Structure 1
Amino acid sequence: MKQNVLFEAYQSWLKQWAVEGRSLWFGTLMFNHLGSNKKVTVAVMQREMQRVYVTLLSNIVRNPRNKPGLKLPILIGAPDSPVFKHKPQTRFADLAQNEGVHYHFILAMPLVSRLQMPLDLHIKDYQHIYVGNQGNVRVVDVRPITDLRKKIADYMFKHMKRSTYSLDDILILPATATKKGLTSMDASLTHNVLIQQRSRRTPTSML
């Protein structure tokens, strides 16, 4: 399956989730130094992304283990690196860590949520919890997606197109979302996404 077909499908999911009434958020995890091995760095970033997701679950959904995947927040994440066409606007401290590698994610909120405030304010108020105590994550930032005319999926996966990272580095949570299908997406695409996830272990609290 061509990469472009997969990325267009991700963009279609966003539009469909918006039609369903889900609020959509674009997030970034910035990290402290994780080492010089890219494979290890990405693996640590994925584990931290999973931890952040699990932490969010208990705040968004009551008894998430008993909820079907489509009633949970849905997350698509991927590593990213800075691309400089002009003078970089990013702070030097951000570039110095892991050569600027960070982790982007898109989060589709369920229609029913326990949060009593917008997600960005919740993350800001409880930043210390989402950053965690392992010393890996430095900042968790989320912002609302308000314009789906922009190719958000293309932006998130630009380094997959350049082969900086592989499709195996894409993270989809919860794992049950790929098993049962995200809304009404094509079954063959679901199968391919599931294959990409087959070797990745997911915390049991997400299943």
Structure 2
Amino acid sequence: MSRADGTPVRALVVDDEPTLAELLSTALRFEGWQVEHALTGHAAIRAATTLDPDVIILDVMLPDLSGIEVLRRVRATHPDVPVLFLTAKDAVEDRIAGLTAGGDDYVTKPFSLEEVVARLRALLRRAGAVSSRDEATLVVGDLVMDEDSHEVSRGGEDIHLTATEFELLRYFMRNPRRVLSKAQILDRVWQYDFGGQANIVELYVSYLRRKIDKGREPMLHTVRGVGYVLKPAT
């Protein structure tokens, strides 16, 4: 996904938890976006001025200013920038306040990176901030994925995946012929939810193999002692 002029989408991540801010930033850079992150409200306002973001991910609870106040000040200079609020799981009043103040959408913590990216892509499309020529299709050999409709097929035959299987396959398809370690896959697909339990990667790779490789030339290969690689069948 890119801007209408072909340059990368510019995103500003605002969260006072450094680990979470870096996690979100890394995920968005993986999308090919230009990303800056801020840990305080005042830093976010300064960053919005210099970055001129296409979209903002904004935590409601910040150590200096509230996310609502940050939104008010940013909108004074960037009235049309889409804003996705991050809120606490049970803070219904925060979600209502954020949307009432002009936020465009929200997700609750903890969240999946897949959900955040999907919400941001939708906001950018609604705002007309991205190219209409943007394609959401990934192709590796005869394996095809539509990232927007979540449809996957191989050799023209539909393959039905769970949400986690889809995210895992998307990571492989965005990195064809590249060996991905279990640690990299854990960080990208499961974030902090499984704390180094690499066996969950082995389990889901086996699930994927049954669906994309069964009865066909294999595409998903194990590189012993290193990780896994997806490449077109020979």
TM-score range, shorter chain: under 0.3
More strand by share: 2
Specify which structure has the bigger relative contact order, considering alpha-carbon pairs within 8 angstroms and separated by 6 or more residues.
1
What TM-score, normalized by structure 2, do the two folds share? 0.24
More helix by share: 1
| Larger-gyration structure (1/2) | 2
What TM-score, normalized by structure 1, do the two folds share? 0.26
